């Protein structure tokens, strides 16, 4: 009986009460907030480093997409350009001789957008975001930025895309 | 040596309480601003806006330094009572 009542040896080796071990004092909480603050600053630094070390490359050269007659007026074609990463794009035939190409990822949460000819807008079906099909700017909904755009050139019945030249935006 | 400070601390224990609450509230405020900065930096870095990323990093670092500095003023812990060993 006396053996049972006696505390085991490890209790005297580690004399910490459970209550003491699980209790978070206000001092500890404040220190944790300080640590969290440092972590947030580091995270912000990581974004700077990432944009310095891996700047986004512009699309180089012209890329053949399809024949002009493959996409009817009001139609849309999805294509990808294979490079350092595969980015999905959409090619839109707005009117006769008027073409546009945008990244297909919505700037809100990267859902795939689609062109709605009946509305005359690009729609993101996930959260009802709408973009102007000529300029890519946001008309309505949660997307924070316009859709990135490519320049489209039609030569001898073939449709090519290249990166948008800075001096010639389609913002018309 | 004067015992004024220790006597005053004993007479007004709530003072320590107020300092503690004040520091924690300040830290929460600073961390909230940093979260806002981080959100802005992420949002703008996606759009190649390097200026915002750099400016928010500067701001966030300054706020982190302020929060480390604030920790210096945390009230001392209560002296541990010497417990009788079981």
Q: Which two tokens stand for residue A113?
A: 């957008």
pLDDT higher at A145 or A59: A145
d(CA A51, CA A48): 5
Question: Does any domain span residue A156?
Answer: yes
Containing B27, the helix (H) or strand (E) segment is helix B13-45
Clarify whether residues A77 and A10 are in a common domain.
no
Q: Which residues pair with A87 in a beta bridge?
A: A81
Cβ atoms of A34 and B70 closer than 8 Å: yes
Q: Say yes or no to pLDDT of A151 above 60.
A: yes
pLDDT higher at A22 or A92: A92
Question: Does any domain span residue A47?
Answer: yes
Q: What is the pLDDT of residue A84?
A: 62
**Domain ranges for chain B:** 27-75
Clarify whether residues A79 and A154 are in a common domain.
yes
- The number of residues in chain B equals 86
Burial zone of A133 (CB within 10 Å; 0-12 exposed, 13-18 middle, 19+ buried): buried
Q: Say yes or no to pLDDT of A41 above 70.
A: yes
End-to-end Cα, chain B, rounded Å:
38
Clarify whether residues A137 and A68 are in a common domain.
yes
pLDDT higher at B20 or A11: B20
Neighbours of B37 (CB within 10 A): 24
| DSSP 8-class letter at A45 | H
Neighbours of A67 (CB within 10 A): 11
Q: What is the pLDDT of residue B29?
A: 97
Clarify whether residues A49 and A70 are in a common domain.
no
Q: What is chain A's mean pLDDT, rounded? A: 85
Clarify whether residues A48 and A95 are in a common domain.
no
| DSSP 8-class letter at B28 | H
How many domains are contained in chain A? 2
Clarify whether residues A150 and A124 are in a common domain.
yes
Is some CB atom of chain A closer than 8 A to the CB atom of B45?
A: yes
Find chain B residues with C-beta within 8 A of A44's C-beta: 34, 37-38, 41, 53, 56-57, 60-61
Give me the CATH number covering residue A143.
2.102.10.10
Cβ atoms of B65 and A15 closer than 8 Å: no
pLDDT higher at A13 or B10: A13
Clarify whether residues A18 and A103 are in a common domain.
no
Is some CB atom of chain B closer than 8 A to the CB atom of A9?
A: no
| Residues A64-90, mean pLDDT to the nearest whole number | 85
Q: Report CA torsion sign: A27, A29, A34, A39.
A: positive
Clarify whether residues A118 and A80 are in a common domain.
yes
Question: Does any domain span residue A34?
Answer: yes
User: With left for phi above 0 and alpha for psi between -120 and 50, is residue A74 left, alpha or beta?
Assistant: left
d(CA A161, CA A61): 8
Q: What is the pLDDT of residue B6?
A: 77
In chain A, whose CA is at the least distance from the CA of B39?
A44
Clarify whether residues A30 and A73 are in a common domain.
no
Q: Say yes or no to pLDDT of A135 above 60.
A: yes
Clarify whether residues A48 and A74 are in a common domain.
no
Cβ contacts of B15 within 8 Å, gap of 6 or more: B9
Clarify whether residues A110 and A148 are in a common domain.
yes
Question: Does any domain span residue A93?
Answer: yes
Q: Say yes or no to pLDDT of A80 above 70.
A: yes
Find chain A residues with C-beta within 8 A of B31's C-beta: 33, 36-37, 40
Is some CB atom of chain A closer than 8 A to the CB atom of B27?
A: yes
Q: Which domain holds residue A6?
A: 2-53
Q: Which residues pair with A158 in a beta bridge?
A: A67, A155
Neighbours of B44 (CB within 10 A): 20
Return the minimum-mean-pLDDT range out of A64-68, A70-74, B33-37, B76-80: B76-80
- Looking at chain A from residue 140 to 159, which residues have their Cβ under 8 Å from any Cβ of chain B? 144-145
pLDDT higher at A11 or A122: A122
pLDDT under 70: residue ranges of chain B: 1, 5, 44-48, 80-86
Cβ atoms of A100 and A171 closer than 8 Å: no
d(CA A36, CA A122): 41
Cβ atoms of B67 and B30 closer than 8 Å: yes
Cβ atoms of A91 and A65 closer than 8 Å: yes
d(CA A2, CA B28): 53
Clarify whether residues A75 and A98 are in a common domain.
yes
Q: What is the pLDDT of residue A172?
A: 44
């Amino acid at each position: 009986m006396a053996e049972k009542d006696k505390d085991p040896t490890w209790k005297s080796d580690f004399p910490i009460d459970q209550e003491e071990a699980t209790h978070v004092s206000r001092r500890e909480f404040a220190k944790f907030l300080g640590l969290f603050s440092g972590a947030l600053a580091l995270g912000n630094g990581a974004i700077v480093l990432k944009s310095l070390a891996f700047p986004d490359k512009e699309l180089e050269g012209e890329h053949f997409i399809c024949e002009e007659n493959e996409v009817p007026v009001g139609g849309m074609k999805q294509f990808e350009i294979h490079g350092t990463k595969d980015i999905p794009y959409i090619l839109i035939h707005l009117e006769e001789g008027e073409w546009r190409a945008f990244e297909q990822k919505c700037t809100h949460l990267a859902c795939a957008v689609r062109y709605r000819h009946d509305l005359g807008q690009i729609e993101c079906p996930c959260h009802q975001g709408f973009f102007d099909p000529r300029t890519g700017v946001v008309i309505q909904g949660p997307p924070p930025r316009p859709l990135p755009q490519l320049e489209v050139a039609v030569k001898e019945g073939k449709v090519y895309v290249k990166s948008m030249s800075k001096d010639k935006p389609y913002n018309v | 040596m004067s015992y004024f400070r220790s006597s005053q601390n004993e007479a007004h224990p709530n003072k320590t309480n107020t300092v503690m609450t004040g520091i924690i509230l300040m830290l929460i405020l600073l961390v909230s601003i940093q979260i806002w900065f981080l959100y802005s930096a992420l949002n703008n870095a996606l759009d190649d806006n390097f200026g915002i990323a750099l400016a928010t990093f500067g701001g966030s670092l300054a706020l982190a330094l302020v929060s480390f500095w604030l920790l210096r003023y945390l009230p001392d812990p209560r002296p541990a009572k010497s417990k009788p060993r079981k």
